Amino acid sequence: MAKTGIDVSSVNGEIPFDALKSQIDFAIIRCGYGNDLLSQDDSHYERNIRECEKLGIPYGVYFYSYALDTEEADSEARHCLRLLKKASPSYGVWYDMEDGDGYKARNGFPSKNTLVSICQRFLAKVEAAGYYVGLYASLAWLNGYLNDRRLDRYDKWVAQWAKAPSYKGAFGMWQYTSTLRLSGYNGDLDGDKAFYDYPALTAKEPSGSEEKPEPDASDTQVTVSGSGVNFREDAYVGAPVIVVLGRDSRLTWLWDDGWGWSKCRYDGKEGFIANEYLAGRPGLSHYKKARVFGNDVNVRSMPALSGRVIASLWWGNELTVISIDPNNWIRAEVNGLYGYVKYDSTYIKILD
């Protein structure tokens, strides 16, 4: 069952969380905006998180972006991480990508590729520091400027003020209104629905951890532990293959995506390889697990509705998520059987 919450910032003034506690399940609190300047910390951030912690209200954090390039995205990530040291966000950390005040339009609106790169840079850096991250944007932006496979693996918080969300991709949060009225607060609030169990998803995340240092040069060399291993352009089965690698091929490890894949460099080219085929670097992530909350969910022989049904999944069944492609097909393993399952967050939940 979906949880109901609100998202707030200094714009909303002093929120009487004690009066709202019985009416909400969670809150998402703005920590700041723009480059890493003290003047751009949200003036109500610390008060809001302390009130939630005092009253036992689960909360997440969001950061509003003004970045026009990836260098500014780096500054925004540092800004967010500085403020996160003061918080324990069980509802994740969200990057707010929009142009609500027209700043981007007035300053040479970034290209689609740049906007995607900005999001990817910020989310990767905050995730590398140990936090569950996601992307907030309107339906129009998610279907337009931010519709790129590089962002597919990140959770989405869809802003669509409607009776029901119509976003076709996977998402865990929905901002359904900007005019929510709650007893005890004199004014409108943004209302949100959470479809995932975020406290469970973030339970293993280190709270307030600092950004991880860059690995030593001696730690960046890895070798391939199998034969005929695909080195791909992106982190999913079906992505274009750059080269097929043999056993003991040596690569330069760059970073782990947290879903069982790593970005590496081989022969001057950068690409992705599944961690199960890498040796020489301990602690790499494993494939995530998912649980089915529905009945008669088809496992198909190929990532298309025309694919032959090779098995069915039922309520409570678990699967290993090898990858998720840009069309939201999960390459899955279920009890030794490999196939494809259409990812729909209403009946398939990622567990870890």
Instruction: From residue 89, give the alpha-carbon distance in Å to each of 62, 80, 82, 295.
Output: 10, 12, 14, 33
The predicted structure's pLDDT at residue 207: 39
Average pLDDT over residues 197-222: 61
Structure tokens given for 305: 């509705």
With a cut of 80, say whether residue 352 has pLDDT above it: no
On whether both 302 and 340 belong to a single domain, the answer is yes
Q: Which CATH number covers residue 344?
A: 2.30.30.40
Which range, 63-67, 200-204, 218-222, is most confident? Answer: 63-67
With a cut of 60, say whether residue 206 has pLDDT above it: no
On whether both 167 and 298 belong to a single domain, the answer is no
Find where tokens 């140990």 sit: 130
For 93, residues 6+ apart whose C-beta sits below 8 A from its C-beta are 60, 61, 62, 63, 80, 84, 126, 131, 132, 133, 134
On whether both 82 and 111 belong to a single domain, the answer is yes
How many domains are contained in the chain? Answer: 3
What's the domain range around 157?
3-202
Tell me the percentage of the chain whose pLDDT exceeds 70: 95
On whether both 266 and 313 belong to a single domain, the answer is no
On whether both 344 and 233 belong to a single domain, the answer is no
With a cut of 70, say whether residue 259 has pLDDT above it: yes
Average pLDDT over residues 103-128: 93
On whether both 133 and 32 belong to a single domain, the answer is yes
With a cut of 60, say whether residue 249 has pLDDT above it: yes
On whether both 50 and 93 belong to a single domain, the answer is yes
On whether both 197 and 310 belong to a single domain, the answer is no
The predicted structure's pLDDT at residue 122: 95
Pairwise CA distance, residues 182 & 110, whole Å: 38
Crossing angle, helix 70-84 and helix 112-128, to 10 degrees?
Answer: 30
Instruction: Name the pLDDT band for 231 (thresholds 50, 70, 90).
Output: very high
Within 10 angstroms of residue 277's Cβ, the number of other Cβ atoms is 20
The predicted structure's pLDDT at residue 204: 56
The predicted structure's pLDDT at residue 211: 41
Instruction: Name the pLDDT band for 229 (thresholds 50, 70, 90).
Output: very high
On whether both 223 and 299 belong to a single domain, the answer is no
Whether 163 is covered by a domain: the verdict is: yes
Instruction: Decide which of 219 and 258 is more confident.
Output: 258
On whether both 183 and 147 belong to a single domain, the answer is yes
The predicted structure's pLDDT at residue 217: 47
- The chain-wide mean pLDDT, for the chain, equals 91
Which amino acid is it at 25? D
On whether both 337 and 274 belong to a single domain, the answer is no
Degrees, nearest 5: CA angle 127-257-278: 140
Instruction: Name the pLDDT band for 80 (thresholds 50, 70, 90).
Output: very high
With a cut of 50, say whether residue 53 has pLDDT above it: yes
Cα torsion 268, 258, 31, 152: sign = positive
Instruction: Decide which of 1 and 73 is more confident.
Output: 73
pLDDT tens by residue, 57-77: 999 999 999 999 999 999 999
pTM of the model: 0.62
Whether 207 is covered by a domain: the verdict is: no
On whether both 99 and 180 belong to a single domain, the answer is yes
With a cut of 80, say whether residue 331 has pLDDT above it: yes
The predicted structure's pLDDT at residue 219: 56
Instruction: From residue 147, give the alpha-carbon distance in Å to each of 106, 199, 235, 286, 303.
Output: 23, 27, 16, 26, 19
